[in-house]
Amino acid sequence: MSDLLHLIGRDLRLALREGGALGTALGFFLVVVAMLPWGLGPDLNLLSRIAAGILWIALLLAALLSLSRVFESDYEDGSIEVLATGGLPLELVAAGKSLAHWISTGIPLALLAPVLGILLNLDLGAYPALIATMLVGTPAVSFLGAIGAALTLKTRRGGLLLALLVLPLYIPTLIFGISAMSAAVMSPGAFGPSFAILAAISLASVVLGPVASAAALRIQLQ
């Protein structure tokens, strides 16, 4: 357990020290959400209706920008091979690095979303649901994204391939994240089932994602 905590702490320190990946993700999130009202026009009712979808899609795309770094820096300096042959199972290594990505990128994006909701005239009643769904749904973004990061580890400029691999995996999270937010505004009684399914998707991603990531890493390191 101490080795796992040390790995998570190391990745968090590296993320804070570099800062570029998080800054790029937050900046992209802000720019996408800020530009859409200009393209859609001044219809506040329209913006309010589609705000949930815009925020979720922009968050998923922003998170993609930093996914390639989950294993890439360790592969470049050779430390991934040390981790693979160390005392910590590779599944726990993948889980720790995915968790570090969620803490350093997923949570900041989720906390920025309510601020950006103001630009989209998001209904005030949707803000608690927005924060809850983003915090519960973003673990799936990091843990599923780590699978794609592991599969494209040796691919030069594999950002496009990573997006093609990962975006289909995000569809259930996107559907139920938007559904839960919409239900919170239009039909509060329907919020619970959608939110429960979203939580189940994240839980399954946290459990199964590291196993798939570890299998992909073993193939890449052969």
Local confidence pLDDT in tens for the 222 residues of the chain: 777 888 888 888 888 777 667 788 889 999 989 888 887 777 778 888 888 889 999 999 999 888 888 888 788 777 888 887 877 888 999 999 999 999 999 999 999 999 998 888 888 878 888 999 999 999 999 999 999 988 888 877 767 788 888 999 999 999 999 998 888 877 767 788 899 999 999 999 999 999 999 999 888 887
Token pair listed for 192: 């619970």
**22-27 long-range contacts, CB within 8 A, separation 24+:** 22/66, 22/104, 22/105, 22/108, 24/65, 24/66, 25/62, 25/63, 25/65, 25/66, 25/105, 25/108, 25/109, 26/62, 26/108, 26/109, 26/112
Overall number of domains in the chain:
1
Question: What is residue 142's predicted lDDT score, i.e. its pLDDT?
Answer: 94
DSSP code of 78?
T
Which structural domain, as residue segments, surrounds residue 209? 2-220
> The pTM is what?
0.90
What residue type is 185 in one-letter code?
V
